Amino acid sequence: MSDAFLPGNGFDTYETQDKVLVSMDGSVDCGVAVRILQQQGFGVAGAVVQLAADQSAWAAAARQAAEALGIECIVLKAEALADQPSEVLGSGNDARFAALLTAADKLGIQYIASGRYARIETDAQGMSHLFAPESGAPDESGKLAALPPEILSRLILPLGDFAPEDVAEMAEDFKL
| Per-residue model confidence (pLDDT) at position 89 | 45
| Per-residue model confidence (pLDDT) at position 80 | 56
Q: Give dist(CA 40, CA 150) in Å, integer.
A: 23
Count of C-beta atoms within a 10 Å radius of residue 65: 22
Residues 6+ apart with CB under 8 A from 64: 26
| Per-residue model confidence (pLDDT) at position 81 | 53
| Per-residue model confidence (pLDDT) at position 49 | 85
Beta 19-23 vs 43-50: how paired, if at all?
parallel
| Per-residue model confidence (pLDDT) at position 74 | 86
| Per-residue model confidence (pLDDT) at position 53 | 77
- pLDDT by position in tens, the chain (length 176): 333 333 333 444 444 458 999 999 888 899 999 999 999 999 999 998 887 778 888 888 888 888 989 999 988 887 655 555 444 444 555 678 888 888 888 889 999 999 989 999 888 888 888 888 877 778 888 888 888 888 888 999 999 888 888 889 998 888 88
| Per-residue model confidence (pLDDT) at position 113 | 93
| Per-residue model confidence (pLDDT) at position 79 | 62
Q: Give dist(CA 89, CA 95) in Å, integer.
A: 6
Q: Which among 70, 78, 28, 30 has a CA at the least distance from the CA of 50?
A: 78
Q: Give dist(CA 105, CA 73) in Å, integer.
A: 15
Is the model's pTM score more than 0.75?
A: yes
